[in-house]
Amino acid sequence: GTEVGVTEPEATFSACFGAAFLVWHPIKYAQMLAERMEAHQAQGWLVNTGWTGGPYGVGSRIKLRYTRAIIDAIHSGELARAETVEDSMFGFAVPTRCPGVPSDLLVPRRTWNDPVAYDVAAADLGRRFQENFRVFQQEAPEEILAAAPRVPAAS
């Protein structure tokens, strides 16, 4: 990490990437974004430009050429036409093909040698997300609440 004493990545959450500078409740910004995206028929894409293939120390950073290929496919509209699979934890529609990108790289679980370890890490991230979101829940409309991670019950 870049902070003093941070030796490996840590999951952190920040409302709108600038919580300290927000004038309104983060849900208002989410609603404003949704309104503008709908008005302009814009699509949103979540692109992993970071870590893949396992936890820190096992996996690796996604190669820049793959990130560029994904962005190019978004701009050309090709990614929007690709077949998708649903991520069972987060509900994302994940493209299964992208020119210039290995197909397995697009589905995070497939990049890990140990799929069970991936499931554990994904569930942990989902729980952290839910815990972090509790402070916003009261203000959130149903469609936002329905988009929460679907974390399996701990065994």
What average pLDDT does the segment 133-149 reach? 92
Average pLDDT over residues 119-125: 94
pLDDT (0 to 100) of residue 31: 93
Torsion of CA 29, 34, 81, 119, to 10 degrees: 50
Q: All domains of the chain, ordered by start, with CATH?
A: 25-139 (3.90.228.20)
Is 90 exceeded by the pLDDT of residue 33? Answer: yes
pLDDT of residue 45: 96
Average pLDDT over residues 97-117: 95
pTM for the model stands at 0.84
